[in-house]
C-alpha cells in the first residue's frame, strides 16, 4: 500500500504541538517529521491542527437517533448508521455507545428493556463493515430498577462491552439531590401529574431499598465477567468515592461536587465531565461546573454526553483555558484511551493507529475538516 503523507500540519502530540508531517502506512503511523515542507504526493494540511481521533466514552446520541421524538421508534439500522456518520463528522473515531440496562416495566413513565436487541443490531452492522468508526458498548447499569440482573446476564465477553457504569438515580441524592430539578425533568418528559410524580419517587426509593445493594454487587461482578472497565456515576461525597474505589473504579463520570472530584484524584480515579457543562458554563442539574474543576486541576476527561460536536469544542476551550492545546486535546484522546486500556490509539506516536482529525478554527470556533480511521477517510 502506498504511504500517505500529511504535511505542513500543526501536529498535536501528547504533551506538545509541532509543525511537521506524518507518514501513514497500512493504517499505522510510521514516521513523524518536522518542518513545513510539502513533499510530492503529500497532502498539504495548510497549517491546520492534525490530532488523534477523538475517543467518546459516554454518549446518549444513539438513543436520540433511535427515538427522535417521544413514542417514535425509528428504524434501528438507519438510526445507527446516522449516529455513526454524525460522530465521524465531528472527529470522533472511537465511541463507547451508552445503553441503559435495568428496566422498570411497571407504572406510568416506565423504562423498558432495549439494550440487548439494539446492541445486537449495532454489532451486526460492525461485522458487516457498515460502520465508519470503532464502536464499543457502555452499559449504564441502573441499580434503581427491577430487571438489572436478568438484563446484564444476557451480555458476555464477546459483546465488546468496554465500560460498565454504576448508575443510581434514586431521588434525593447524587445528580438529583434537588428534587425540584428531577420533578421538572420527569413531569415534563412523561406528562405526569403531581400525584403521579409523588408515586414515581416513592416507587424508586422502594426499589432502591429492596434491590439496590444486590444490583450494585451484580453489576460489579458482571463488569469483571465481561472484561469491562468499571465507572462510577455522579459521585457526590467522599464516602461515595471511597465505595467506588473499593469496587476498583478507575473512572468517575460527572462527579457533582469539588469534594468528590478531589477524593477521586486522591484515589487515582480519573474525573470525566460533560463538554456541554463546560461550554454552557455550568451543569443543567445545578451541580459543580466543569470549568471550576478544570481551574482546580481536577478534570481529566471530557464526554460529549448529549451533543457530539461539543467534544472537540470543549477540548479546544480547555486548551485555551490552560494555555496548552496539547493538554486540552489530551482530555478527548490520550486520557480516555488510557482510562479504557486502548493503548493503540488516542495519541500520535510511531506504531499507533492512524485515527486522525484535521481541524481549523473559524473565528475561534473549531471546524473539523477531515477525519480518518486507520488511514481511511471517513468524513
Domain for residue 86, yes or no? yes
**CA neighbours within 13 Å on the CB side: how many for 330?**
16
Q: Which domain holds residue 171?
A: 53-344
Cβ-contact 64, 306 below 8 angstroms:
yes
Q: What would the pLDDT profile of 78-120 be if each residue is shown by its tens digit? A: 999 999 999 999 999 999 999 999 987 665 556 789 999 999 9
Transcribe 2-25 into DSSP letters: PPEEEEEEEEE-SS-EEEEEEEEE
The answer as to whether 20 is a domain residue is: no
Q: In the chain, how many domains are there?
A: 1
Query: Residue 206 corresponds to which cell in the numbers above?
Result: 422502594
In a domain, 311, yes or no: yes
* C-beta of residue 21 within 8 angstroms of C-beta of residue 9: yes
Mean pLDDT for all residues in the chain: 91
Q: Is residue 267, in this structure, part of any structural domain at all? A: yes
Quote the distance between the C-alpha of residue 232 and its chain's center: 13
77 closest CA partner among 33, 25, 41, 124: 124
Which residue is associated with the grid cell 480547555? 318
Task: Output the domain CATH number for residue 326.
Answer: 3.20.20.140
| 84 vs 178, more confident | 84
User: Per-residue pLDDT for 181 more than 90?
Assistant: no
- Does any domain span residue 84? yes
Q: Is residue 8 part of a domain?
A: no
Q: Quick check: is 173 in a domain?
A: yes
C-alpha 74 chain-centroid distance:
23
Paired residues of 358 in beta bridges: 50, 370
CA distance to 13, 22, 46, per residue, from 19 (Å): 11, 10, 11
The model's pLDDT over 238-290, given as tens digits with 9 standing for 90+, comes to 999 999 999 999 999 999 999 999 999 999 999 999 999 999 998 877 789 99
* 47-66 tens-digit pLDDT: 999 999 999 999 999 999 99
Cα gap 63→77, rounded to integer Å: 13
Tens of pLDDT along 291-329?
999 999 999 999 999 999 999 999 999 999 999 999 999
In a domain, 219, yes or no: yes
Amino acid at each position: 500500500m502506498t504511504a500517505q503523507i500529511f504535511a505542513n500540519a500543526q501536529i498535536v502530540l501528547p504533551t506538545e504541538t509541532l509543525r511537521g508531517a506524518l507518514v501513514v502506512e497500512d493504517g499505522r503511523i510510521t514516521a513523524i517529521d518536522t518542518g513545513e515542507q510539502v513533499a510530492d504526493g503529500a497532502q498539504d494540511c495548510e497549517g491546520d491542527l492534525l490530532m488523534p481521533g477523538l475517543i467518546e466514552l459516554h454518549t446518549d446520541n444513539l438513543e436520540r437517533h433511535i427515538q427522535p421524538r417521544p413514542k417514535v421508534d425509528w428504524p434501528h439500522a438507519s438510526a445507527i448508521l446516522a449516529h455513526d456518520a454524525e460522530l465521524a463528522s465531528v472527529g470522533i473515531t472511537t465511541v463507547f455507545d451508552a445503553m441503559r440496562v435495568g428496566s422498570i416495566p411497571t407504572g406510568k413513565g416506565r423504562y423498558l428493556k432495549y439494550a440487548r436487541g439494539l446492541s445486537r443490531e449495532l454489532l451486526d452492522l460492525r461485522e458487516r463493515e457498515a460502520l465508519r468508526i470503532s464502536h464499543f458498548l457502555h452499559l449504564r447499569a441502573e441499580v434503581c430498577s427491577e430487571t438489572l440482573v436478568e438484563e446484564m446476564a444476557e451480555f458476555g465477553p464477546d459483546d465488546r462491552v468496554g465500560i460498565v457504569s454504576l448508575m443510581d438515580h434514586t431521588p434525593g441524592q447524587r445528580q438529583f439531590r434537588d428534587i425540584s430539578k428531577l420533578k421538572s425533568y420527569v413531569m415534563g418528559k412523561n406528562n405526569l401529574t403531581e400525584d403521579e410524580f409523588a408515586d414515581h419517587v416513592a416507587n424508586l426509593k422502594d426499589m432502591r431499598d429492596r434491590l439496590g445493594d444486590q444490583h450494585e454487587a451484580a453489576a460489579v461482578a458482571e463488569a469483571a465477567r465481561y472484561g469491562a472497565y468499571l465507572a462510577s456515576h455522579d459521585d457526590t461525597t467522599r464516602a461515595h468515592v471511597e465505595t467506588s474505589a473499593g469496587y476498583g473504579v478507575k473512572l468517575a463520570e460527572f462527579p457533582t461536587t469539588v469534594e468528590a472530584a478531589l477524593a477521586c484524584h486522591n484515589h487515582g480515579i480519573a474525573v470525566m465531565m460533560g463538554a456541554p457543562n463546560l461550554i454552557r458554563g455550568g451543569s443543567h442539574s445545578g451541580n459543580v461546573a466543569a470549568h471550576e474543576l478544570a481551574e482546580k486541576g481536577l478534570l481529566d476527561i471530557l464526554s460529549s454526553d448529549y451533543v457530539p460536536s461539543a467534544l472537540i469544542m470543549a477540548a479546544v476551550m480547555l486548551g485555551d483555558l490552560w494555555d496548552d492545546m496539547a493538554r486540552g486535546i489530551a482530555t478527548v484522546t490520550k486520557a480516555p484511551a488510557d482510562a479504557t486500556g486502548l493503548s493503540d490509539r488516542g495519541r500520535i506516536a510511531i506504531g499507533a493507529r492512524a485515527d486522525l482529525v484535521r481541524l481549523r478554527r473559524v473565528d475561534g470556533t473549531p471546524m473539523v475538516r477531515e477525519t480518518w480511521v486507520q488511514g481511511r477517510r471517513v468524513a
